[in-house]
Chains A and B, each alone.
Chain A
Amino acid sequence: MSDAMSGELAIDRVYHHYIAAGRRTDVLDDVSFRIPAGHVACVVGPSGCGKSTLLGLAAGLLRPSRGTVSWDGDRVRMGPNHDLGMAFQQPGLFPWMTVRQNVAIGLRTRGHARRDARRIADEFLETVGLAEFADAYPSHLSGGMAQRVGIARALALKPRLLLLDEPFAAVDAFTRLKLQQEFKALLKLNRPTVLFVTHDVPEAIALGDVIVVMTQRPASVQRIIPVAREDRDRASPAYARKLAETLACLGVTSDMDE
C-alpha cells in the first residue's frame, strides 16, 4: 500500500453481469472512478442502472466479472472488511435485538469489549437523537427512526470506508432533509471515504464532493461533476445551475412546459 492510495476507493475498468433464469444481464460496462481519502462521491443514475451493484462490489458482497475494485491500494476480497461501514435501502435491523444491541453487535464482532460496545452504541444513538429508544425493539420504530439506527450502526464502527445505498429513500421529504443535515455533521467526526448512492439529485449536491452520473444499464460513468461549497446553498444561482446541469445529464430538461 502506497501512501497515495491510503483511504482511496478505486473502481478500475469494472464490468459486471449476472445470470438469472438462464439469461445474462449486463449491469456495469467499463466503470472507472476514484474516491480520494475523506471524499464523498454521490452516484446518481436511472433506476436499475447498477448503482447498488457498485456498492456490493465495493463492500465485498459481490465479485466483479472483470476489472478491479481496490481499497487502500489492495483488491477488495469477498467477505468481511473491517474498515467498512454500510447502510442499506432497508434499515436491516435484527428484529430480535434491541436498538442498542443492533448498534453494538458490529462493535462486538470487531473485538470491542461488551461495555465498550455498549458505551459507543449509546453515544451514537444519542447523536442521531434516539437515546431514549435504546431498549426498544425495531418493530416499535417508525421508518425514519429505523433508518437512523441503521446509519448509527454503520457510523459507530468508525469506518474508514462508508457505503450508503439510498439510506434516506424510504423516509418522508422533511425527515430526509433533517437526516441529511445530521449525517453531514456526523461525517465530520472521522472523515471516512464515502460512496453514496442516491436517485435524489438535490441530496447528491448537498452531500457530495463529486457527483458521479451513470448511464442507463449496462451502465458506465457518463460524467463526474465536482460540487463546490457555494453550490450547496439552495438559495444561490450556483445551486440552480448545478441542479440543472446534473439533471440534464440524466436527460431531464429544466423547462417543465416543454
Chain B
Amino acid sequence: MSNMATTIDTDKSRRKTVLMSSALGYVVIIGISLATIVILSLLLSETPGKTLHYFFLGSFQNLYYFGNMLNSAIPLMFGGLGIVIAMRSNNLNLGGEGQIYLGAFVTTITALALAPLHIIGLIVALVLGATCSGAVSALSGVLKYKWDTSELISSFLLSNALVLIVNYFVTGPFMDPNTNLLATRKVPEVFRLHKILPPSNLSSALFFAIIAVVVVYIYLFKSKGGYELRMFGINPKFALYGGIHKAKNIVLPMFLSGALYGIGGGIAIIGTYYACVKEFSAGMGWNGLAVALIAKNRPFAVIPAAIFFAYIESGAKNAMLHSDVTAELAMIVQAVVFLLVTSEVLYTLYTNKKGKLS
C-alpha cells in the first residue's frame, strides 16, 4: 500500500505506454497468425505460391470477393457486440449459435406473414426476432439471479436445444415446398436490403451493423444504464453498495446480448439469404465470441476485429477454390488467433520488460 504517491508521472505518458504495448501486442498476434498461414501453406500445399497469393490477395482481387468478405463480417459484428454487452456486465452468453438462428427464423416467418405491411412489417419482424432471442438469453439471466445457475452453461444448453427446434420448423411446417432446399420460403422483395457493391452480396446491412456499434458504444459509455452495467461487471459488491440493481444488471445485459444476436440473424436474412436455410448460421455464434475477445470488449474495435476474422475465412475460401488446400486451413489460423488473443501475455510484453511490476 505504502509504495505510491511520491511523484505522479503524467497521466498522458502512462496511457501512451499502455496504448503502445497493446498495439505492439496486436502486431505480434497478427504477425504470428500470418506466419502460421505461410508455414501451413508451405507444408500442406503443392503450390504454396498460388495458395498464399489467393489467401492474402484473393479478397481484394475483385469487388465480388471483397464485398462478400465484408458481408460475412456483418453477423460477426452483431454477435461480437452481443458478447461485449454480456462481458461488460460480467456475464457470458454462450448461446449465440441458437440465438442467431432463432432470430433469423422468427424474422423470416414474421416477414412472410406481414408481407402487405411493407416497412412496418419489416420493423416488426426484426424486433420480434430480436425479442425472441433476447428472451431466451434473458432466461439464463433469470436463472442466474434466482438460483445462481451458471449462465454460461444454461445459455449454451438452451441454444443447443433451440437449434434442433428451429431445424424442425425449417424442415417441417415452414419448409418451402417449391424447392429442394431445406429452407423456408423467401421473404418478399420489398423486405430485402439494397445491394451496395454489386455483383457481391454486400448490402446496406453494413450500415445497420455500424449503427449498432455506435448505439452500443453510447449505451455502454454514455448512459446511466450502461454505467450501472459496467460497474456491476467490474465489481458487483461495489455496484450493490452504490445502490445499483442486481437483478436488472444480470437479466438486462443477457437480454440485450441475445437481442443483438437475434437482430444479426434477422439482418442476415433480409440482407443476404432471404430464406431461413437449415443451419445457415452454424459457427456465427462462436465467431462472434472470438471477435469480442479480439476487440477486448471495446465496441468500436468490434468492426476491425470482425473484418479481420472474415478476411481470414474468405482468404481460406479463395485459396481452397483456386489452389489445393482445404477449409481447415482457415480454422487452424482462426484457432491460432483465438489462442494468442486470449493469452494476455502479449499485451504486457512491452511494459514488463523494464522491470518488475508491483
A and B found bound together: no
